[in-house]
Copies of this chain bind each other. A is one copy, B any other.
Amino acid sequence: MKLNVDKEYIDKLLSGDKRTISRAISVVENEYADKLELLKSVYKHTGKAYKIGITGPPGAGKSTITDCIIKNLTKKNFRIGVIAVDPTSPFTGGALLGDRVRMTDSTMFENVFIRSMATRGSLGGLSKNVNDVCKILDASGKDFIIIETVGVGQSELDIAQTADTTVVALVPESGDSVQAMKAGLMEIADVFALNKSDRQGADEIVTSLKNILHLRIPQDDNYEIKVLKTIAVKNTGIEELIGEIFNHREHLIKSGYLDRKRKEHLANEITEIVNLNLQKSFWDKNNSDVLLQNIDDIYSKKTDPYTFISSLTSGIKL
């Protein structure tokens, strides 16, 4: 795909034209030739959108919560971008879009733009891609960008952490609060949403989460993390959840922590791009062939990986 990244094109993107946004996202996602030029032109128009991360274990109802938040915010006349990080399964040959179908209500609104992104086969570049898509949506005039991730692994947590406010969704069934701690969710949550909170055990989990939060090492931003109860399928508790997201945003802005947080994210993003560039340059230059040619000898222990690596990387000047 060849774009003509001129003023007219950028103006169209800034105006929020859906087709232009869609094509721009395809360009950055698929690493088309114009990607760098596009991102450079777009960058100065970013920084206005507020990013909300929604994460939590599979089955916590993240899509439904996202759906409710979209409906609520569009009623308030906000423009919303949504990035749904869906694992693509080579098993079925495509992303499972079952959850996204429920979004149809929301996509009907003029002011919502939803994009699904695959996690599989992204070779560590996923959070870079999410950042790039965020920039497109941000420049296109969205007030809020919701980044919804499936799973509670390190990479999903990293992605959620590119957000300004991170909502961690749990359900009474997702295990006790010790499991949440173990999964690293305590460190990344700015607000907890205990979803499906009409189910058995909800109050116990809320209490135990609150108890654990009291034990928490005080963070320098000194913000008190709330545990809210929601029943997303009934739209219960969503107004309160959004209220708390707004509270957190106000806190970050007033305290100056928003700039600090975003600068940290930016530095991480730059580091990641550089690292990926280093890898790409290295493994493009026939080095992949050299590895392939030597793997039998290494496997059969005629040599060892470390000696092989030394010889492979000896000529590098960084």
A residues adjacent to B (C-beta < 8 A): 36, 39-40, 43-44, 47, 57-59, 86-87, 89-93, 96, 98, 119-120, 124, 126, 150-157, 173-176, 178-184, 186-187, 215-217, 259, 262-263, 266-267, 269-271, 273-275, 277-279, 281-283, 285, 291-292, 295-296, 298-299, 301, 304-309, 312-313, 315-318
Q: How many Å from the CB of A268 to the closest CB on chain B?
A: 10
- In the complex, the count of this chain's copies comes to 2
> Are A307 and B181 closer than 8 Å at their CB atoms?
no
Question: Contacting A305 at CB < 8 Å: which of B86, B154, B273?
Answer: B273
Q: How many Å from the CB of A65 to the closest CB on chain B?
A: 16
A218 CA to B175 CA, complexed, in Å: 34
User: Known interface pairs A89-B184, A291-B271. Does A266 touch B305 (Cβ–Cβ under 8 Å)?
Assistant: yes
Q: How many Å from the CB of A99 to the closest CB on chain B?
A: 8
A313 CA to B271 CA, complexed, in Å: 11
Contacts of A87 in B (CB 8 A): 182-184
Contacts of A184 in B (CB 8 A): 87, 89, 119-120, 151
| Chain B: CB-nearest residue to A273 | B309
